[in-house]
Amino acid sequence: MDPRVTQAAESFLQELFQVAGETARLRLTQSDQELLIDLQGAHVFIGQNQRALRALAHLVEIYLKRTLNIDISVQIDADGFREHRRDELREMALQLAEEALREHKKIVLDPMEPYERKAIHEALSQVSGVRTYSEGQGEERRVVIEPISP
């Protein structure tokens, strides 16, 4: 864990928010491979889809690469949205697995963010009678829930 990474990311975001007239508290957590940033009170991101947060994370990644010559994945959350979304996805996954089993058909979900697909796969990994896999490329990648033949 390199403290320069969290300091640089925090400084960059604070300056960006200041220019935008936005205030936010930042909670940064760094592991060896990833920097997690939770924006608390960033009103500009309330109700936004994940594209804005993903774009902001990409800007932070570029900044860290250019200023510190460090490649690190950055994930940004706003007021715990991602955890709330994971909970919603787990519930939805279980309901859709029941439907797939009841109707004996595969269910193809809409394209999702990687963390969303992961939540679906994890939620159904212990559910007997169904399997999940991802198909598609890039922003069109989606989860398929499929009943397993007995």
Domains of the chain: 3-79 (3.30.300.20), 83-147 (3.30.1370.50)
Tokens representing residue 8 in the block: 């640089």
pLDDT in tens, the chain (150 residues): 688 999 999 999 999 988 888 888 899 998 878 999 998 887 666 655 667 888 899 999 999 999 999 999 999 888 888 888 889 999 999 999 999 999 999 999 999 988 899 999 999 999 999 999 999 999 899 999 999 976
DSSP codes joined into one string, the chain: --HHHHHHHHHHHHHHHHHHT---EEEEEE-SSEEEEEEES-GGGTT--HHHHHHHHHHHHHHHHHHH----EEEEEETTHHHHHHHHHHHHHHHHHHHHHHHT--EEPPP--HHHHHHHHHHHTT-TTEEEEEESSGGG-EEEEEEPP-
